[in-house]
């Protein structure tokens, strides 16, 4: 084996220029594909994180049929001891209880329908950084009797901190939910839909308002890394029974999943184009390596070298060219990726405005994973093996006498 490797390596450098050109074609294709995939996957992870940390969490536990009906009648009770067990599950960073419903809110002559969310202020802030979104007033406490109002909603109602608004809706099992509550703070969301429709109150106040003592509509979970989603979901499901439903972010936000899949498809098309370039580069090199060595092959076969061993050496040459390009391209991409992981690309102009309107910070973050590099190795290896079909067929059919005559 060592002899064959030495022969293959020396054969490559008999024509250094040709070999370097072939390696360069693989190098640039791998370099650009790794950087592009890093940017794509970084953007996807960022969009997912931003979306789940805004409200839903990576995983959510709620009562059966609540997600479809969104009714307080599908709310649930969970023992505090179970919630504590949830918080001890590996990779879980936050468990956020909520009681959600809808109410009419009014101030003066202005009336609007809003989503009223009862929260545990401390745990809610761990997940959504709600306190940092405060633009005026004070943040909620567990015993707060007031409300946090979304900035857009405050403008529609023309209210400010200190004003009191009327909430009127339906509570648990058809009871009336009505109260006059002061505005203690105003919060601002980048996403327009949230900024014009959300009201936060403390969880005990919400349970009193909606006549739902000790009840919640959902438990939202944040985890330290999306790679642990499946294992964490299994651990959470093991602590629940048939009264509850465990949903992951992709089931709760199918629109985001569809967008990522569509964008990923376009990225794969670009990668295919790059790999076509790689394929032609490797195949052309292999063809030249084979055709210009007809006499050499004829001599080697004539003196007793088996065709199988000759084919094996030629395949090794193809693999060496491919892997030199893959390894050098991957190494060259690392400084670029690490730089942009620390310093994401900041978008400006109309693109930034569009991203802000969807609630995303106008940046292009990067990401890195072993899978990105393994994809390049597997793909280029497959291309190299397909390219090796040509010398295999050529040498198999080669007649030593004709080869020696040229």
Q: 241: number of CA atoms within 13 Å, CB side?
A: 6
The helix (H) or strand (E) run that includes residue 49 is helix 16-51
Is there a single domain that holds both residue 231 and residue 141? yes
By C-alpha distance, which of 110, 399, 58 is closest to 253?
58
Confidence at residue 358, expressed as pLDDT on a 0 to 100 scale: 65
Is there a single domain that holds both residue 37 and residue 74? no
332 versus 32: which is more confidently predicted? Answer: 332
How many domains does one find in the chain?
A: 2
Confidence at residue 221, expressed as pLDDT on a 0 to 100 scale: 94
Dist. CA 279–CA 272, nearest whole Å: 10
Is there a single domain that holds both residue 335 and residue 224? no
Is there a single domain that holds both residue 196 and residue 269? no
Is 58 a member of any domain?
no
Dist. CA 216–CA 82, nearest whole Å: 14
Is 21 a member of any domain?
yes
Is 248 a member of any domain?
no
Is there a single domain that holds both residue 149 and residue 224? yes
Q: How confident is the model at residue 359 (pLDDT cuts 50, 70, 90)?
A: low
On the 0-12 / 13-18 / 19+ scale of CB atoms within 10 A, 81 is exposed
- How confident is the model over 265-291, as a mean pLDDT? 78
Q: Which range marks the domain in which residue 328 is found? A: 2-51+257-405
**Domain boundary pick from 187, 210, 241:** 241
What share of the chain in percent tops pLDDT 90? 25
Please say if the pLDDT value at position 5 is more than 90: no
Confidence at residue 357, expressed as pLDDT on a 0 to 100 scale: 65
Paired residues of 340 in beta bridges: none
Is there a single domain that holds both residue 329 and residue 384? yes
- Are the CB atoms for 19 and 12 separated by under 8 Å? yes
Q: How confident is the model at residue 406 (pLDDT cuts 50, 70, 90)?
A: low
Confidence at residue 276, expressed as pLDDT on a 0 to 100 scale: 82
Is 379 a member of any domain?
yes
Please say if the pLDDT value at position 361 is more than 80: no
**Domain boundary pick from 216, 241, 266:** 241
Is 226 a member of any domain?
yes
104 versus 389: which is more confidently predicted? Answer: 104
Is there a single domain that holds both residue 69 and residue 218? yes
How many CB atoms lie under 10 A from the CB of residue 62?
23
Please say if the pLDDT value at position 175 is more than 80: yes
Is 59 a member of any domain?
no
- How confident is the model over 80-97, as a mean pLDDT? 91
Dist. CA 3–CA 258, nearest whole Å: 53
Is 119 a member of any domain?
yes
Confidence at residue 270, expressed as pLDDT on a 0 to 100 scale: 80
100 versus 283: which is more confidently predicted? Answer: 100
**Domain boundary pick from 211, 241, 271:** 241
pTM across the whole model: 0.76
Confidence at residue 380, expressed as pLDDT on a 0 to 100 scale: 80
Please say if the pLDDT value at position 234 is more than 90: yes
Is there a single domain that holds both residue 338 and residue 206? no
Q: How confident is the model at residue 390 (pLDDT cuts 50, 70, 90)?
A: confident
Is there a single domain that holds both residue 306 and residue 392? yes
- How confident is the model over 38-52, as a mean pLDDT? 85
- Are the CB atoms for 26 and 281 separated by under 8 Å? yes
Is there a single domain that holds both residue 79 and residue 216? yes
Is there a single domain that holds both residue 273 and residue 223? no
Q: How confident is the model at residue 59 (pLDDT cuts 50, 70, 90)?
A: very high
Is 274 a member of any domain?
yes
Is there a single domain that holds both residue 371 and residue 321? yes
């Amino acid at each position: 084996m060592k002899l064959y490797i030495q022969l293959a390596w020396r054969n490559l450098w008999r024509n250094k220029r040709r070999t370097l050109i072939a390696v360069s074609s693989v190098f640039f294709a791998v370099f650009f594909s790794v950087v592009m995939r890093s940017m794509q996957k970084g953007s996807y992870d960022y969009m997912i994180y931003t979306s789940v940390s805004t409200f839903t969490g990576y995983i959510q536990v709620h009562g059966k049929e609540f997600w479809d009906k969104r009714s307080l009648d599908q709310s649930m009770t969970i023992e505090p001891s179970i919630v504590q067990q949830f918080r001890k599950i590996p990779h879980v960073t936050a468990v956020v209880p909520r009681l959600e419903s809808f109410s009419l809110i009014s101030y003066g002559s202005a009336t609007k329908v809003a989503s009223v969310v009862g929260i545990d202020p401390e745990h809610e802030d761990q997940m959504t950084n709600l306190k940092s979104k405060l633009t005026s007033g004070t943040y909620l406490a567990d015993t707060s009797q007031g409300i946090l109002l979304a900035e857009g909603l405050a403008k529609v109602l023309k209210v400010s901190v200190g004003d009191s608004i009327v909430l009127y809706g339906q509570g648990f099992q058809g009871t009336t939910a009505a109260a006059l509550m002061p505005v203690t703070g105003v919060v601002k969301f980048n996403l327009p839909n949230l900024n014009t429709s959300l009201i936060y109150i403390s969880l005990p106040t919400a349970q009193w308002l909606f006549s739902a003592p000790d009840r919640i509509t959902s438990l939202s979970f944040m985890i330290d890394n999306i790679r642990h989603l499946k294992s964490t979901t299994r651990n959470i499901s093991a602590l629940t029974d048939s009264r509850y439903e465990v949903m992951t972010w992709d089931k709760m936000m199918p629109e985001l999943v569809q967008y990522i899949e569509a964008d990923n498809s376009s990225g794969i098309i670009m990668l295919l184009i790059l790999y076509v370039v790689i394929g032609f580069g490797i195949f052309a090199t292999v063809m030249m390596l084979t055709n210009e060595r007809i006499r050499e092959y004829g001599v080697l076969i004539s003196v007793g070298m088996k065709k199988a061993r000759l084919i094996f050496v030629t395949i090794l040459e193809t693999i060496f060219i491919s892997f030199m390009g893959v390894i050098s391209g991957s190494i060259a991409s690392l400084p670029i990726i690490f730089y942009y992981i620390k310093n994401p690309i900041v978008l400006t102009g109309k693109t930034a405005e569009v991203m802000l309107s969807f609630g995303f910070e106008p940046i292009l973050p990067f990401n890195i994973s072993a899978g990105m590099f393994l994809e390049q190795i597997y793909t280029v290896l497959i291309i190299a093996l397909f390219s090796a079909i040509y010398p295999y067929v050529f040498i198999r059919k080669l007649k030593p006498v004709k080869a020696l005559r040229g």
